[in-house]
Each structure stands twice: as structure tokens, then as C-alpha cells.
Structure 1
């Protein structure tokens, strides 16, 4: 209940910021192009347009603009206040899993949200919320032996991935994150009696929704291919969109050298993740999320910006542990005295 009340307060603050024009967000550009041609979102979904999902995500703000008779970008800005409030809510829920419930931590999360509101465009905010939802659900799924409420979990995972589709790079990261955690959890509880029903249930769901899953996989492949095609069909050219620019234009021997170094670094990284996994570290999902996002930085700043979520959570968890140890030590000293 406290998380919900605080989320409402956060939304109220951001709403004031939008009203005072401190926070201004533009309607998702790709969705706006479709909206100008045909205002019926079902039309675009039926035609299977590549940006139909983005229009679907942003569509409530269009309905708000029509219902309240306000400008579209203003309606979208108010719509984004809901997104940021939900982002705050899920971040504090994740901290609650790790027993971080201090008011200071919540204030830091609030400041983090306000900073995001200042520097972020409205489109990426949906991806941040989607990744926060995925992080929460996969953390619960990984840590708890029998998490239950499987239907609700699958629904939230689907919703999280859909929100992440506003950025093709973050969408790929989110899918890789889910698959990796699912594999690691299966290995963690490798007793057949513990995992068989989950696997059988997943297979049944895949069969029932096979057509939907097929379309989803086709969409992901199409988006990846579209991005590669945009960069002249060369995978290495993707690096020119993010921090990979520091390497300059790679070709010939230099490109081969960088690929070899990349393979070595990736191999070492995978071994480190496996080592952390074997220690049964409770923050594995956050470490893995930050790890995947770090590589995303090289192909796109917005893709890698999602790293801020797991890093913030890891920092607050670490600070909470240090403060807890100090309080316990002070308590022991006072008892001994």
C-alpha cells in the first residue's frame, strides 16, 4: 500500500511538471505517421505494419486528446506521467524483495525518476517501465522455489516485452534477459520433479498460442534485419550508432582484431556470470540485466541506457547492506558495554 501511495505522489509531482511545461514529451514519431494516415489502431494491427505496436502503446494518449479536447503532445505528456509513476512503483517493489524499505532509498528512486523525466524522451520511458516489470517478475521467478501465479507472470512478461518494443535494441535485450534467467532457474532447480510441470505448462502455452508466438518471432527477426539493413547490411556498422563510435569505421585486419578481442572478452564475461551463478547470488538477475545492457551501449545509447535500472538497484541494495552491518555492529557494542 505504501508503494502505491508513494507512486501516486510521484505522479502528482510529474503532472505538476507537465502542467508547468517543465516536462514536455512528443508523441512517438513512428506512431504519429500512422495516426495521420488512419486513426484506427486496429487497421494498422490488421495490416501488420511494423510500427503498429508502437501506435498501440501510445494510442491511449490519442484517446485522451480526443476526450479532453487537448493537444496530442500534451495528452501524451500526461500519459507519460502514468508510465513514470508505474516505473517508480516497480523499482520500489524490486527493492522490497531484497528487504530495502528505507525512506532514503525511496527518495533516491524518486530523484532518479525526476532526472529521467528531465533528460528522457517519452518513447524510451515505456521501455524503462517494460524492463522494470521484467526485472521484477524474473527476480521473483528466480529466487522463489515455487513462485505460483504463473498466468499473471506470463501476462506481465508479455506486457513488459511489448513495452520494450518501442526500441528494437531494448526489445532484443529483454528477450535475451528472459531466456537466460529461465535457463538459469531451470539449472538451479534441476530436480525433474520441480521443473517438469513448469516445462509442460510452458509447452502447452506455446502450442495454444503458437500463431501469436510465430508472429512475435517473425517481428523480432524483421526488426533486427531492418536495423542491419539500415546500416548497409553490415553488422559491424551497428557500432556506429552507440559507444562503438570510439572504434571508428572498422574494416579489414582491424575489424578481425576487434572481433577476436570481443570473443575473448565475451568468453571471460560468460565465465564470470557462471561463477556468480554458482555462488547462488541473490542479485544475479540485476547483475545479468546490467551486463546485457552494457553490451547494448555499443550499438545504441538508448539501448544501453536501460543499464541505469539494474545499476541503481544494485547500488541501493549494497548501501542497505553496509548500513545494516553498521547498525548491527553498533548494537553489539552497546550490548557489550
Structure 2
């Protein structure tokens, strides 16, 4: 049974023209009352917003001029706009226990105090000449170690960077596109990363490394074993868990094989489990206690078809019960290019979901509003 859609007035835009960070990153400050959001359109900046009080003042975390100081000619050019949605914006990650923020901009790894009033960026790391940092980075829970991926176009390197002094260590070198590195919050001796590329052709998407159990990295999901056909299941957008050593991941609607939907995976040898079947799942998230999960969809989740078939430009934010697999639509939204994929994530208390909201006019094409939004569960 499909539960009714939440009434539109229960969705509250936190800040106009803002966006939440990537789903496997953390945008929340300690205490769970505030979230950091990026501003897309014109000069980029990062701001701190109160989740509960819509009238509270917003605080600048990183000013536009600080990003401009970090930029170089490689990153100069057109500012982000809905008409130029492929233009880069700053992604960021915040340490769970220290509020230390890291971001990549101008081919540099940068840091700032997400809870402070300094508004300055400090450079932690620049890759060697000829190498380019991937736009997604991550940071350990204590804020002492950042993780990046970089490439010279032929090889990809995963690297740790000490936040205190900038010392670096090469963790892994691959001949394939390795990225999305982030620590597993439940056990940060594990680092998750991905084999990036077209989901339909990548049969070893999910990887993890561990100092003793998997020092060279190992595949964590056998996509062919999960498949009900001769081709591997097409999976992606994994998010490491807070409550156990593992992750949630989606088997995309466009996967030529099934079962499609939301899976949970484990690093202790247990086989992945299909939590909830779905033919339009796109991105996913999990609450910190593991009792709630969320997905967004390619097209409204009740629409017939799968994947991008007849998807249009709308998406559902869907709450998933990991015990029963039951689904309930929390909100309906639209999407355009990054950063305005919905990218849902739970607030630290698990009582609400923050996502990127795009609202269209009645013509279904004109954007009338965009910004990070919140909806109660």
C-alpha cells in the first residue's frame, strides 16, 4: 500500500538558494540544532542555519571572498545557476565530534571551524602538479584526519591528510576511478570508497580498507551474487552507517537486474540484505541509531516504471522502516543538476529529514523556489 504524501505545508525551506551537502558527508553541528548549508548562485559561501527556529539569524561559516582567495584560474568562470548546473559548488564535511569542516575548492583541501566566527579557510593540502582533487572529501569523527581522492588522469590515489600539520599518507593507488572515500562512523578503522563509473558496467562498486583486515582494500558486495539475472546488480550512492560497521546502498531502478531497491551491507562477512524493494531508488540515508532509513527517487515513487523511465523532473522523499521494509512518502520535490539532487539525510536525532528542494511552477518547467528543506518524520 502506498501511504499518502505529506501535506506541502509540512515541508519548510531552511534558506532560499541553499543546498545540503553530499549524502555520505555530515552537515550537522554537534548538539544537532544547526546545519551548515552552501549557497548556490552567484558567489559561493557556507552558512550556519538553526534547524528549529526559522527566525534565527544565519551565521556565515565561510565568506565568498575566502573561496575566491582559494580559487585559481582552473576554477574561474561561470558561477553556478540553474542554467549552468554543471558549474562546481563547494561540497563539505563536518567532523561528528569537533565541528571541524573540510572542503575542496581551487584544487585545494581547506578547513574551517564550522561552529566559530572566524569565517576563514586554511589550506591543508595541494596535490602535486598535474593532479586534481576530486570534489568530495571527508573527515574523521574527531576532526584530526581528512581523506581525499586525486587523479592525474591515469591513476587515482586515496590519501589521508592530518588536519593539524597537513602531513599526508598515500592509502591506496588504483588504475581505476576510486573516490567517495569516507570513514565508517561506527568503526573508523574502516574506510569506505567506491569504484566510480557507469553503474551498469561497474561490477565492483563498493570497497573498503582496514589497516589489518583489508590493507589494500577489498570489494564488500558481490553484485553478481545478489542479481537475479546473468548481469551484476547496478548499485551506488552508498552511505556508511553510524550504528554498525556497514553501509546502506541503492540498487538503481535502471539496473538491468534485480532485486532493485534499498540494501544494507556489512563488513563482518554477513551477506547484504534487501531492506525494501523499489524500482526508482536513487540516493539513501540512515539515522544514527539505525532505526530509520530514507531514499529519494527518480520520478515519484508511486509512478509506474523504473529508473529514469517516465521519471520527469520530480522525486519523492521516502521514509523506510528497516525492520518491515514499509515505505511512506514524506515529501514531493523536484530536481536539477548538482547540487540540487534531493540528497536526503536524517537530522542527528532522527526526527526529521533535510533534503534539497526544487519547486516548479504549474507548467512543470519553471523553477520558482529552491533551497535546502526539512520535513518531520
Q: Provide the TM-score with structure 1 as the length reference.
A: 0.27
Greater share of helix residues, 1 or 2? 1
Greater share of strand residues, 1 or 2? 2
Q: Provide the TM-score with structure 2 as the length reference.
A: 0.25
Structure with more relative contact order (C-alpha pairs < 8 Å, separation 6 or more): 1
